[in-house]
């Protein structure tokens, strides 16, 4: 039930605000921006939710500062560090692909936005939920995932352009404009 409130808020925000704005820009824009929105909703789910039901309790636990020693879990052999690193990288690969598709951002912008998103998540995690901690390693691996995603975007970009041209040609032939 705690998660349902957050998803209901996200759904209402999408329907009442974003969808109306994107719909006026065409089906392709709606599709790619909705894909990014759904992706970001899942990032919130895995990193910060439940948010709405946690807000009244944010001052009921001590705020644990961020661990600032990169890869300390690896160095000290604590926990399942390779799984955590892998999941952090995997989580942000779609960000590196979808952000430039949505906004035409370049490499440095993708890195900056990935850093800011990751930093925000890491700073909010222990505030929203006292059982969560934040770690500089997560920021590093999240940015690395976005960089990998951007490289994938660069590799698929020519194919996307070709598909877009073919699609436009099909519609021109269908409508008799060629």
- Tell me, yes or no, if the pTM score tops 0.85: yes
Q: Residues 6 or more apart from 56 whose CB is under 8 A from it?
A: none
Q: What are residue 125's DSSP bridge partners?
A: none
Tell me how many domains the chain contains: 2
Residues 44, 129 within the same domain = no
Residues 32, 5 within the same domain = yes
Pick from 111, 76, 68: nearest CA to 92: 111
Q: Residues 6 or more apart from 122 whose CB is under 8 A from it?
A: 66, 134, 135, 136, 138, 139
Identify the domain boundary among 53, 71, 95.
53
Residues 18, 94 within the same domain = no
Residues 170, 118 within the same domain = yes
Identify the domain boundary among 53, 73, 89.
53
Residues 75, 157 within the same domain = yes
**What are the pLDDT digits (tens) for 145-171?**
999 999 999 999 999 888 877 776 665
**What are the pLDDT digits (tens) for 90-119?**
999 999 999 999 998 999 999 999 999 999
For 70, the domain range is: 60-178
DSSP annotation of 67 reads: B
Residues 48, 64 within the same domain = no
The enclosing H or E element of 57 equals none
Residues 118, 84 within the same domain = yes
Of the pLDDT bands very low, low, confident and very high (cuts 50, 70, 90), residue 65 is confident
Measure the CA–CA gap between 176 and 72, rounded to whole angstroms: 64
Residues 44, 79 within the same domain = no
Residues 38, 80 within the same domain = no
C-alpha distance from residue 174 to each of 110, 162, 171, 177 (Å) = 38, 18, 5, 8
pLDDT greater than 80 at residue 7 = yes
Residue count of the chain = 178
Pick from 161, 32, 34, 42: nearest CA to 97: 32
């Amino acid at each position: 039930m705690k998660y349902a409130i957050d998803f209901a808020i996200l759904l209402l925000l999408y329907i009442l605000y974003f969808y109306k704005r994107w719909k006026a820009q065409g089906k392709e824009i709606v599709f790619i921006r909705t894909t990014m929105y759904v992706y970001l909703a899942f990032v919130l789910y895995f990193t910060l939710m439940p948010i709405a039901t946690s807000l009244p309790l944010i001052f009921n636990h001590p705020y644990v500062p961020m661990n600032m020693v990169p890869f300390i879990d690896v160095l000290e052999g604590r926990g399942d560090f390779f799984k955590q690193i892998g999941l952090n990288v995997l989580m942000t690969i779609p960000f590196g692909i979808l952000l430039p598709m949505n906004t035409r951002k370049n490499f440095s912008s993708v890195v900056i936005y990935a850093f800011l998103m990751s930093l925000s998540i890491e700073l909010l995690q222990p505030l929203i939920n006292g059982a969560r901690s934040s770690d500089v390693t997560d920021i590093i691996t999240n940015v690395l995932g976005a960089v990998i995603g951007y490289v994938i975007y660069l590799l698929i970009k020519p194919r996307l352009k070709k598909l877009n041209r073919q699609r436009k040609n099909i519609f021109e032939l269908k409508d008799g404009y060629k």
